[in-house]
Structure 1
Amino acid sequence: MSKSRRLPLVLAVVLTMSATAVAGWWAWGRPGPGDPAPPPPPSLATAEIVRQDMSTDVALSGVLGHGLTRPVKGGRPGIVTWLPASGATLKRGATLYRVDDQPVPVFYGSTPLFRPLDRLHIVGRDVRVVAENLEALGYEVGRRYRAGQRVRQTPPTPPGASAPPATYVEVRTGEDVLTAALVRAIGRWRVDAGLPASNVLGIGDVAVLRGAVRVASTTAQVGDEAEGLLMMVTTTGKVVTVEAEVAAATALKRGVKVRVRLPDDRTLPGKVSLVSTAVTDDPEGPAKLTVTITLDDPAAAARLDAAPVEVVFPGRTRGDVLAAPVGALVALAEGGYAVQVAGGGLVAVKTGLFAGGLVEVSGAGVAEGTRVVTTS
């Protein structure tokens, strides 16, 4: 057979095979009488653009209670002869513990007594602590010195030595002067407090605390040496503590206003009072710092001794804006974003605040109630 006669025959075979294959594919692809119908194409999810306020506020879990515990150590040698009960509240002038059966009362302040106050015209912050507390307890302490005033001091003279020349000391901010009137007030207070009669205050005669305390637990026992750890105390008022990641906690400042949601759905205003500097070591999570929040009205939570709460920290806020799901945004090749209107095309938008899965949008083609295609 010649080459020209074989070509049509080959072509006919190829066409026959192709037709058979197409027919087979068509028969295979079509559902039979008992086969289920193929599923319809998936419908596109849409959402409505809404007008609302948006905020990047952050809510963290916290605990309502008496806050962090602080240690109290004894300030002078001796034997512990009495300790307060756990839960006791101790204010200025109250006995915090007893050493050798002598009371150690509470004074408020930030500077402990670090030396004997045993001679006139001593100047210092410890003297101011004594003056302020005795005055608050109702004792007459006489004239108080102001910063910048000068005080004449005569150093003690050893026996048999000639008196050294007097010097002048300037009173600095936060200091006071041990005057004759203050010495007399010390003597009267000691008698009233049940301490041995004297006009001198020594190291450890009082426990200087930052304010009234609640005894969380006692760590010593009657009969122990008094110079060790005696008890753990907290503040008397209710506070909220939150464990926040270090980056978030260090961005908070004292006085930042927050909202505290209680288990009974009430929301109370409060503010950040302390951000600790001690990092908690959690092997199962990131390092955290403790943030302490005080309530503006602690009495509003008085009936709750301890409870889990939610603390809402402030962020950026935008009022009365158009908001769409973040999943509605379409990145444009030329830059920027658009949304696809349901049943229509793409409309370019400007984005603003992102919060809670929503994004602030604006543009000529979007308005409140516009439905847009979204992935979520």
Structure 2
Amino acid sequence: MVTEGDGDARRRRGRLVVAGAALAAVAGAGAVAVATRGGPPPAPRVTGIPVATTTVVKTDLSDTVTLPGTLGFGAARPLRGAGTGLVTRLPKPGATTVRGRPLYWADDRPVAVFYGDTPLFRRLGALGARGRDVAVVADNLRALGYAPGSAPVRSWSPAPQGTPAPPGEVFTASLRAALKRWQQDNGLKPTGVLDVGQAVVFPGPMRVDAVKAQLGDPVAGEILSVTRTAQVVTVPVETASAGTIRRGAKVRIVLPDGRTAGGTVTAVARTAQDAADSSGQSQTRLDVTVTPAKRIKGLDAAPVEVRFTSALRRGVLAVPIGALLALREGGYALQTPGGTLVAARTGMFARGMVEVGGPGIAAGLKVVTSS
């Protein structure tokens, strides 16, 4: 602690510069401007004149960066139809897919939705056929309550000839019977055969983003585009800054009407893209994906802002920047209303506050401030 009497304090006023304004100008860089030697010293404070004071507080300091983003449902993927015929019925944008239910109609026959990781690339119906596509059909029929009987076989196993058999499940008589029951319940001819184009396979529930085809178009073309069902915010971030953003980081999303919502960084792209900034200069950026903590009602797409916390200090002592005094010989001090100077170490600067510490500095200490 630096302690002096009132008379000593007045004599030392010539060696101090109230640096509140200078500090505010450079707080983001963590630097403070100090008056050069040789200039006239400031006039000493006249005893008895009221001064502005503030109190040392214990608080959390955070440095935030706000970047523009776009609320939506992520990148859309196209869906192309297969087989022959004409499109006779289409879903509406915004509709959500449901396992086993029709997505669109071809020649007035429903094309249903299955979930899985392998598209239906061949005609299924022959007993003994094995493959991942067979497993997709069996898994979906099980999920829909049509028990196909046999359990899936998902590992490579040697065939009688010694060649490896494809992984997946075998198309059995019980699976064909289950397929017939499902077809019957969904207005299809119960053939026990599933042709290419009679069902589409997605990795999970999807949302219809846009309808591309028109009624009467050939089914073997782009029908629509889909996205995931979860809302996300896509934020393009300069490559140099993206390294400070981590998956799992908590953020705040600022909506166009001023409301805010919590969110979490769920992905940071690995592929950089060139994009022009506001001045037309090309910059390399990475897309950062933020998932809102809960669905944002009333909006499907909108420009938003995302506040990222780049640094955080919890439970530190802090004062307004205007309370710091920069000493000509270096270092900083706080001044009590009685004129006593208390040496202060500085830490993080954020939102007009500065972290301080040192002997004699504690929460509740009243100090002079310039603002």
- 1:141 aligns with 148
Q: CA deviation at 1:113?
A: 1.7
- 1:15 aligns with none
Question: Given the alignment of the two structures, is residue 213 of structure 1 paired with residue 206 of structure 2, yes or no?
Answer: yes
- 2:171 aligns with 178
From 337, 359, 362, the counterpart of 2:357:
362
Q: CA deviation at 1:265?
A: 7.1
Contact 2:320 2:369 in 1 (8 A): no
Amino acid corresponding to residue 230 of structure 1 in structure 2:
I
From 80, 83, 91, the counterpart of 1:76:
83
Q: 1:146 to 1:307 in 2, by over 3 A?
A: same
Q: CA deviation at 1:95?
A: 1.6
TM-score normalised over the length of structure 2: 0.66
Question: Given the alignment of the two structures, is residue 107 of structure 1 paired with residue 114 of structure 2, yes or no?
Answer: yes
> In structure 1, how many angstroms separate the alpha carbons of the residues matched to 2:257 and 2:220?
45
> In structure 1, how many angstroms separate the alpha carbons of the residues matched to 2:189 and 2:158?
30
Contact 2:69 2:236 in 1 (8 A): no
Rg comparison, structure with higher value:
1
- 1:318 aligns with 313
Q: 1:315 to 1:134 in 2, by over 3 A?
A: farther
Q: Which has the higher contact order (CA 8 A, sep 6+)?
A: 2
Q: CA deviation at 1:370?
A: 4.9
Unaligned runs of 5+ in 2: 1-41, 46-50
Q: Give RMSD over aligned pairs.
A: 4.1
Instruction: For residue 187 of structure 1, give the secondary structure of its aligned residue in structure 2.
Output: helix
Deviations 1:250-274 (A, max 9, x none): 6656554445456777665443444
From 271, 275, 281, the counterpart of 1:281:
275
Contact 2:74 2:234 in 1 (8 A): no
- 1:16 aligns with none
Contact 1:274 1:293 in 2 (8 A): yes
Q: How does 1:79-158 map to 2 (within 5 A)?
A: 79-145=86-152, 147-148=154-155, 150=157, 152=159
Q: CA deviation at 1:104?
A: 1.4
Instruction: For residue 169 of structure 1, give the secondary structure of its aligned residue in structure 2.
Output: coil
> In structure 1, how many angstroms separate the alpha carbons of the residues matched to 2:183 and 2:242?
45
Identity %: 43
> In structure 1, how many angstroms separate the alpha carbons of the residues matched to 2:343 and 2:188?
84
Amino acid corresponding to residue 138 of structure 1 in structure 2:
G
TM-score normalised over the length of structure 1: 0.66
From 191, 212, 218, the counterpart of 1:225:
218
Amino acid corresponding to residue 361 of structure 2 in structure 1:
V
Unaligned runs of 5+ in 1: 1-39, 154-164
Contact 1:339 1:373 in 2 (8 A): no
Q: CA deviation at 1:139?
A: 0.8
Q: 1:291 to 1:371 in 2, by over 3 A?
A: same
Deviations 1:126-149 (A, max 9, x none): 333222211111111223235547
